[in-house]
Amino acid sequence: MADEKLTSRSENYSEWYNQVVLRADMADYAPVRGCMVVKPYGWALWENMQKELDRRFKETGHVNAAFPLLIPKSFFEKEKEHVEGFAPELAVVTIGGGQELEEPLVVRPTSETVIGYMYSKWIKSYRDLPVLINQWANVVRWEMRTRLFLRTLEFYWQEGHTAHSSDEEAQEETIRMLDVYADFAINEAAVPVIRGIKSESEKFAGAVNTYSIEAMMGDTKALQAGTSHNLGQNFAKAFDIKYLDQNNTLQYCWTTSWGLSTRFIGAIIMTHGDDNGLILPPRLAPFQIVIVPIYKNDEERSAVMEAVDNVQKQLKDFRVKLDDRTEVTPGYKYHEWELRGVPLRLEIGPKDVEKGSVMAARRDIPGKPGKSFLLQENLAPQVQELLDTIQAAMLKRATEFRDANIHPANSYDELKEIIQNGWAESWWCGSSECERKIKEETKATTRCIPLDQEKGGHGKCVYCQSDASQKVYFSKAY
RNA sequence: CGGGGUGUAGCGCAGUUGGUAGCGCACCGCGUUUGGGACGCGGGGGCCCGCGGUUCGAGUCCGCGCACCCCGACCA
């Protein structure tokens, strides 16, 4: 599997990315163009992500359900912007059981429509609100160009869909879930993200407002890592989601939707990976620790394996992989597990048996500087501390990298220069026209208008020089 | 959908003027190895992407398809 040197990131970043995904055994290409198989190692990472997200959803009052894969095509015509946004990338089923269907069925690209339909049946009274449902699902979007995890025809995600009795409550929910995503990204994945609001042209088809968390990848391009939409009453009106309020007046609901997908795996890979391969954050890594036993003969073997056994017992509350293969050498194993991003490696050999130690090697600090001896005695707390240190160091490094590559652009010339290798932070008048021109001329798009900027500021639009009251990030993006 | 590239063993590739397919890695067996990608010996594995041509003979030459990858436009 892992036999030759990886293409370096500076040599060819996308080649590096593809090789890492394939050789780390995260995923493989499927027989259909643009589709992927998520292999057990990749799926284990996704499961850990799901667990952390799901916990947060439940803590904020949401419940899970499952809605159907097939949606009547006519549903997509009910909300004007939604149909315009999604029509080009729908997969449509026209034959079922050998018969031409009376109405074609769309394989869901997202579930606002069918969930809206169901909500209209379920919601009658203000007492039914809010409805706070999430589903874990796969969706299909017929994309032109695909890349493993980042953009595949089919992908896995969660989509939350909520209905509320007021605009304020829907807006609170939208921000609440954006914050959940940011908390997950920063504290579980060690991916520093910026919370912001999307421009008109970048927002979700059919939303009033779209918020996103934006992350910077290792090549300084931006990746939208999660989104939260305030749908206002657009879908409620399209799908007739109404309730009677306390005054017996019929009202349309206010709805939201929010999603985070397997794309985020791509964010983790490109935020942390180095020229030796993946570096996975300890809190999400399928294996937090890999143990490599080392011995020369049977005598050493039995002594070493006894120590390994003892270590394994002490670390039973961690996700541990014992690599006891005899057909490959320790050196081979080091390279392989580094490629696969295991945060901490424990080497146990004759010297350790003698000294009651284990050699610990940090994945985030390659080579000698990342190595240290731990005592076999009372090992668990030492390992926990190391993993915490690694997690924190990863977040710190990624944050510093991001901040070092965001620069204020005071002029259009500066912006053009900055976006060659970073994000430009600049004043923007808010007009789609300036945005479009910049995109045409530089390939950079607005990523988001960051929520964390001082209110009441003002400057001149980086493109048209007219008055601007907000700052925005421009960059190339995935 | 435009531009570029590639289809030969699981993977990466070679294959001369057209003569009936090979190398490295991986895999299997045996032995020696094992603290940063070990080695020796012996094995198994092929509708050369598909369909038509040309030819005594096609992996090779000529059409026409198809698929995948990369770069753009579109998008989470």
Listing DSSP states for A157-225 in one string gives: EEEEEEEESSHHHHHHHHHHHHHHHHHHHHHTS---EEEEE--GGGS-TT-SEEEEEEEE-TTS-EEEE
A211 touches strand B (CB under 7 A): no
Map out the domains of chain A as residue ranges. 13-272, 289-387, 406-475
Percent of chain A as helix, strand, coil, to the nearest 5: 40, 30, 35
Contact present, A274 and A366 (Cβ < 8 Å): yes
Question: Smallest CA–C1' separation from A263: which nucleotide?
Answer: B76
Burial A172-190 (b: 16+ CB within 10 A, else e): ebbbebbbbbbebbbebbb
Q: Which two tokens stand for residue A20?
A: 């890492």
In angstroms, rounded to a whole number, what is the distance separating the alpha carbons of residues A7 and A9?
Answer: 7
* Contact flag, residue A369 CB and nucleic strand B, below 7 A: no
What is the spatial distance, in angstroms and rounded to an integer, between the CA atom of A48 and the C1' atom of B13?
39
CATH 3.30.930.10 for domain A13-272 = yes
> Both tokens of residue A143?
């994309």
Look up residue A48 and give its two tokens: 């850990």
Q: How far apart are CA A215 and CA A194, in angstroms?
A: 7
CB A451 within 8 A of CB A195: yes
Query: CATH fold of A406-475, please?
Result: Translation Initiation Factor IF3 (3.30.110)
Q: Cα–Cα distance between A58 and A26 in angstroms, integer?
A: 28
Quick check: A117 CB within 7 A of strand B? no
Q: Which positions on chain B have an atom < 7 Å from some protein CB?
A: 1, 25-28, 33-38, 67-76
3-class DSSP state of A389: helix
Question: For residues A205 and A477, what is the distance between their CA atoms, to the nearest angstrom?
Answer: 19
What CATH number does domain A289-387 carry, 3.40.140.10, 3.40.50.720, 3.40.50.800, 2.60.40.1190? Answer: 3.40.50.800
Q: According to the model, what pLDDT value does residue A104 have? A: 92
Can you tell me the ipTM of this complex? Answer: 0.86
Tokens of A308: 């390994």
Question: Is the C-beta of residue A150 closer than 7 Å to nucleic acid chain B?
Answer: yes
Cβ of A250 less than 7 A from strand B: no
A109 contact to strand B (CB, 7 A limit): no
Tell me, in Å, how far CA of A146 is from C1' of B74? 11
Query: Is there a contact between A228 and A181 (Cβ–Cβ < 8 Å)?
Result: yes
CA dist A155 and A264 (Å) reads 11
Alpha helices in A87-161 (DSSP H): 112-122
Q: Which residue is nearest to nucleotide B67 (CA to C1')?
A: A33
* Averaged pLDDT in 10-residue chunks for chain A of 478 residues: 68 83 86 84 96 98 97 92 87 87 93 96 98 96 86 92 98 98 98 96 92 94 94 96 97 97 94 94 98 94 96 98 94 94 97 97 96 98 98 98 95 91 93 89 91 90 94 92
Phi, psi of A152 (to 5 degrees): -120, 160
Q: Report if CB A217 to strand B is under 7 Å.
A: no
Q: Which of A192, A369, A176 minimizes the C-alpha distance to A272?
A: A192
